[in-house]
Chains A and B, each alone.
Chain A
Amino acid sequence: MKKEFRFKIDVPKYIYPIGRGGEKFAEGLKKGELYAAYCEICDNYMMPPSAYCPRCFSEIKKYEKVTNAYLDLYTILWKDFEGKDLEEPIIYGFIRFEVDEEPVEGGLIHRLKVDDPSKMVLGVRVNPIFKPEEERRGTITDIEYFVIE
């Protein structure tokens, strides 16, 4: 007796415009810079930046270039999506930021390239490595990875 039935749910393509909040972020990425949103009412920096403050609901008018990035957490991937061993493990870091020594709420998850594992300690300063300018599209993959300073 037939017991199983295979079918798929597919959508050939999604297109997500980056929107108002993503605009400043994208411009920054293209220039090789990272911007945080600043809410003047709550005196709060946010990353990734949005168009509005989720707490006071006011429109974000100021985006500030981050001045410091550091490794807050990391994880090491040994297997791919299907559970097969990766040729080389991939390290993902949770990167937090500061603007002029002020903390930024949130952060970014990104790849970390580590030459010397002994340097991989929490809190260490990291720097983004961008793709060549002509390849940047204003998306998060414009950053190839972060490296430990």
Chain B
Amino acid sequence: MKPENPPGTPYKRNDLEEGRVLYTEDSLELWYRWSLGKYLSKYLEGLKEGRILGRYCKACGRIYVPPREVCQYCFRETDEWVEVGDTGRVNTAVVSYIQADRSRMDKPLIIAVIELEGASKGMGILHRLGEVDPEDVINRKIFGKKVKAVWKPPEERTGSVNDILYFKPVEEV
């Protein structure tokens, strides 16, 4: 039977701690300063003002959120700024119990892809849902429901996707 005698020497975490496996260690921390460019700058600036902005391609009629410089279908520059609504419908949603480093969260977080009203069909954004019972996510009742952005108070906004606290349902789930 192939593979025949696959080589390799497994070890366990405590082999490191107890000195049976010698190792060296290091860490990585790289800081970046990203130039945002015309489109994302204006998008974040819009969020600071409580508005969600997109870009319109007049060749195919698509409205992109987040705004993009180039229409991926027409491969041409998009033409105009459009303000889309801060309401939308839930395309999909999940309940997260873990953080990015795999540690458990104190309190579960509901994450969703939301198709904003005013953007083209299928143009969703990633964000949190609030004021939702996790049960309604698990049984998928929240899917397709209308939600609306809950914004931070204007003085606390910094020009970030986190200027929106979460989206909450505005129709019965």
B-binding residues in A (CB < 8 A) = 1-18, 20, 22-23, 26, 137-139
Contact = CB atoms under 8 A, between A and B. Distances in A.
Contacts of B16: 15, 17
Which of B16, B23, B40, B44 lies at the interface centre, i.e. has the most chain A CB atoms within 10 A of its CB?
B23
Main secondary structure of the interface of A (DSSP, over half): strand
Contact of A26 (B22, B48, B159): B22
B27 A11 contact: yes
Nearest to B21: A17
B24 A9 contact: no
Interface string B28-49: 1111111110001110110010
Which of A2, A20, A137 lies at the interface centre, i.e. has the most chain B CB atoms within 10 A of its CB?
A2
Interface of B: 9, 11, 16, 21-36, 40-42, 44-45, 48, 159
B25 A18 contact: no
A22 B45 CA distance: 53
A5 B33 contact: yes
Which of B21, B24, B41 lies at the interface centre, i.e. has the most chain A CB atoms within 10 A of its CB?
B24
A2 B33 CA distance: 12
A26 B22 CA distance: 8
A139 B32 contact: no
Nearest to A30: B22
- Of all A-B residue pairs in the complex, the 9 with the closest CB atoms, nearest first, are A11-B28, A5-B34, A10-B29, A2-B159, A138-B22, A17-B23, A9-B30, A18-B22, A8-B31
Nearest to B26: A14
B154 to A, nearest CB: 15
A60 to B, nearest CB: 15
A99 to B, nearest CB: 24
A19 B28 CA distance: 21
A7 B27 CA distance: 17
A4 B35 CA distance: 5
A1 B11 CA distance: 53
B41 A2 contact: yes
A52 B101 CA distance: 36
Contacts of A4: 33-36
Contacts of A139: 22, 24
A1 B41 contact: yes
A69 B9 CA distance: 34
A10 B32 contact: no
Given A15-B23, A22-B22, A139-B24, A8 B36 contact: no
Contacts of B27: 10-14
A24 to B, nearest CB: 11
Given A15-B23, A17-B11, A137-B22, A8 B30 contact: yes
Contacts of A20: 9
A12 B101 CA distance: 10
A6 B31 contact: yes
B160 to A, nearest CB: 9
